[in-house]
Amino acid sequence: MSKSSAQYSQYPKHHPHDHGRAFQRRPAAAAAATAIPLPATDDAYTIVHAGKQVRFGPVVFWIVVGTIVLLGLWSAATATYFAFRDDVLTRLIARQAEMQYAYEDRIAELRAKVDRTTSRQLLDQEQFDQKLDQIMKRQTALESRATALGAMPDVTGSIPRSAPQRGDSSQTTPKPSPISDTVIFVAPPDREARLESRAPTVVAAPTSQFAKNQGFDNVLVRLTTSLDQVERRQMAALNAVEESMDSRMRRMRGVVSDLGLNLAHLEDAVPRTAMGGPFVPVKLTANAGPFEKQLYRINTTRAEMDRLNRTLALVPYRKPVIGEVEFTSGFGVRSDPFLGRPAMHTGLDFRAATGDPVRATAYGKVVSAGWSGGYGRMVEVDHGNGLSTRYGHLSEINVRVGEIVKIGQVVGLVGSTGRSTGPHLHYETRIEGEAVDPQKFLRAGVRLSAG
């Protein structure tokens, strides 16, 4: 139906509870349609068009009306959407970009955190490796020091043995000798693998990494402490050796001085042995530490002490007989055992039994070996630099003239030959042919061996 020829009428029925109502809608061109009132038999909506009536119930009517309203709203929303579509899309894109930027920022933050963690881990690992390398170098230096100390006979037994630490593997392994008392360090099993592969890894739990670093630090601290103990023991041993050598050098020089001997002349009298080689001066490196400097001083003192030992080998300060020393007659004026008159005794009489060995008291050359008047069978040894010794009343002579005798070599046996009242050893010490008291030399020997 067209709007020009249609007329809409509604006739609600009368109901006792309703007030009743009726309305008519007449368009401007309502000449062709006329609303015909109908009897109100029930509640209904009637549409009249060209004489035809279409009746709708209230439910259907409102459904139609609601549908029309919804379609209108949908059309308005659609029109609005198309009208403002660009703005909506712009906002959606901006929102999406904002979310993407936030996501990228978060990713960048996490990546930076991972990089910081990885860098810190690599730095800790490099620091650990550096400390480990320092400890290994220090251990190598201590081992070389132990080798140098082991080559010194004075150090034998002077380095105390350290007690094994709790959990140390030395409980089940053979203990090192006192000379080579060093820390044997074994690198962690995963160290080589960690050095070969340095790929950054993300730490899952910082507390576990902290505990791991703490464990490494504890290992390094224990190793450093052990090396410190070894170094202290080595320095203590070296100090003891230096003090002992200095003390012995003082005693050796004191012996020469007390005996009134000329050290330079004694050194000239020392026989030269077969030796040689190029001259290589001893030098200290520029980075030499206290240990190397002290070792250099000790080696220098040792060389001087060896030279003095070779010199003192010509000085007769040792005992001519073994066992306890007992004099039956001293040096100087005494009553002659045969005549009973005062007489000069030029030596010492040592109590001994017939056949006891008589030993040379210094290095020298035999200048006399045979019968010699009141000495009976006598051996005389020239020690050089005017020093000589005589061994009288021997029952047997075991050397010959011109023979070189060493310290402690048996030159004869105790007897009672010559002008003697019984078996004993008559021992003399002479300087430039003049008899001197042998006890002066013997006391010097006791003082020299006391240290």
**Is the domain of 161 the same as that of 234?**
yes
93 within some domain:
no
351: three-class secondary structure by DSSP: strand
Question: Which regions in the chain score pLDDT beneath 50?
Answer: 1-36, 38, 40-41, 156-207, 210
- DSSP assignment of 272-318: PPS-----------TT--HHHHHHHHHHHHHHHHHHHHHHHTTS--S
What CATH number did the domain enclosing 396 receive?
2.70.70.10
196 found inside a domain: no
- The 8-class DSSP code of residue 190 comes to T
Q: Quick one: 140 and 283 in the same domain? A: yes
305 and 354 share one domain: no
Does residue 33 form part of some domain? yes
What is the residue whose two structure tokens read 């403002």?
Answer: 84
| pLDDT, position 164 | 39
Predicted pLDDT of residue 374: 92
Q: Note whether 146 and 74 are same-domain residues.
A: no
User: Residue 393: which region, alpha, beta or left (left: phi > 0; alpha: psi -120 to 50)?
Assistant: left
Backbone angles phi, psi at 396, to 5 degrees: -155, 140
Query: Based on the domain organization, do 72 and 17 belong to the same domain?
Result: yes
Phi and psi torsions of 365, nearest 5°: -125, 135
Q: How far apart are CA 2 and CA 447, in angstroms?
A: 153
Reference 329, options 317, 339, 315, 343; nearest CA is 343
Claim to verify: residue 155 and residue 300 sit in the same structural domain: yes
User: Is 18 part of any domain?
Assistant: yes
Do 289 and 251 belong to one domain?
Answer: yes
How many separate domains does the chain show?
3
Q: 334 and 306 share a domain?
A: no
Q: What is the pTM of this model?
A: 0.54
User: pLDDT value at position 250?
Assistant: 86
Q: Is residue 353 part of a domain?
A: yes
Distances (CA, A) of 365 to 80, 276, 368, 383, 403: 136, 25, 9, 7, 6
Structure tokens at 188: 């962690």
Cα–Cα distance measured from residue 334 to residue 345, given in angstroms and rounded to the nearest whole number:
7
Residue 106 lies in a domain: no
What is the C-alpha to C-alpha distance for residues 211 and 206, in angstroms, rounded to an integer? Answer: 9
Same domain, yes or no: 371 and 441: yes
Shared domain for 241 and 303, answered yes or no, is yes
Name the domain boundary from 244, 278, 312: 312
Q: 230 in a domain, yes or no? A: yes
Query: For residue 215, what pLDDT is reported?
Result: 65
pLDDT at 352 (0 to 100): 93
User: Which residues span the domain enclosing 443?
Assistant: 327-449
The predicted structure's pLDDT at residue 42 = 56
Task: Write phi, then psi, for 15 (nearest 5 degrees).
Answer: -130, 145
Give the pair of three-digit tokens for residue 321. 């007989």
SS3 category, 16:
coil
Which residues lie below 8 Å from residue 13, measured CB to CB, with a gap of 6+?
39, 40, 41, 42, 43, 44
Indicate if 340 and 308 belong to the same structural domain.
no
pLDDT of residue 245: 86
276 & 368 share domain: no
What's the number of CA atoms in the CB half-sphere (13 Å) around residue 419? 9
